[in-house]
Structure formats: C-alpha cells, structure tokens
Amino acid sequence: MIKSEGLGDRLREERDRLGLNQTDFGLQVGVSRGTQKAYELGTGAPDVRYLMALEGLGVDVQYVLMGRRFTQEVGGMDDVEQTLITRYRSLNSDDKQSVYRIVSAMSEVKDFSSN
C-alpha cells in the first residue's frame, strides 16, 4: 500500500479545526474510530463515499488530498465572515435551515432605534 505523505496530517488538522475527536468525526462521516485512525496514520486509503461525507461535514477536501486550500472569493470576506461560513458548512441540514431562518428574520427587521 502506498502511504500518502501528509494526507493523514491534513485530515487530522481538519478534524481538529472542527473540534472533533476521532470517534465523533468517524461517526459523522460513516467510519469507525479505527478506520479514522488508519486514515490519519496513512495506513488506510479513504474511498469516494468517505471524501463526499467529509465535504458535507465542512472539511476542505482539496486541502486534505492535495495540500492546497480551496478558497471561494465572495466579495472580500473578512476573517469573521470566513469563519462563519466554515462553521455553517459543518452543520447538519436541520441546523443549516435554522440558521437560514434566523438570519432571514433578522435581516428583515427594521432598525427601530433610529425612529
């Protein structure tokens, strides 16, 4: 088996960025702690389903595989906006819907303090 230099380290870095241990991270992407550990040690090779699940969790899959960060420029986002987007992407679909409803409601509220 070919050991992918750096892939495991980058995978662990992304897991740490999301604040998850190996067990919880593995559960969220459909693998056991042992499988997750093997991927991080470079002794196992992730499959396409795993990589797709990573993306759904908010992991920068291009970074994990290639060592280059995926950046999507959105009109000069500052660090806070980028952090919000990254954290939003790590939410499950129900939580994403809740955030959308909250932000939509907040953006429709007029500023009554100026009256």
Same domain, 53 and 31: yes
74: in domain: no
Same domain, 44 and 20: yes
38: in domain: yes
User: pLDDT per residue over 11-54, tens digit each?
Assistant: 999 999 888 999 999 999 999 999 999 999 999 999 999 999 99
Looking up residue 19, the CATH number of its domain turns out to be: 1.10.260.40
Structure tokens at 4: 């992918």
Name which of 9, 75, 20, 17 is nearest 42 in CA terms: 9
Residue with more model confidence, 82 or 2 = 82
User: pLDDT per residue over 51-101, tens digit each?
Assistant: 999 988 888 898 899 888 766 555 667 778 878 888 888 888 888 889 888
Domain that holds residue 86: 79-109
pLDDT at 2: 40
Same domain, 47 and 85: no
Q: Give the number of domains in the chain.
A: 2
Distances from the Cα of 92 to the Cα of 11, 29, 40, 59, 112, angstroms: 20, 12, 23, 13, 34
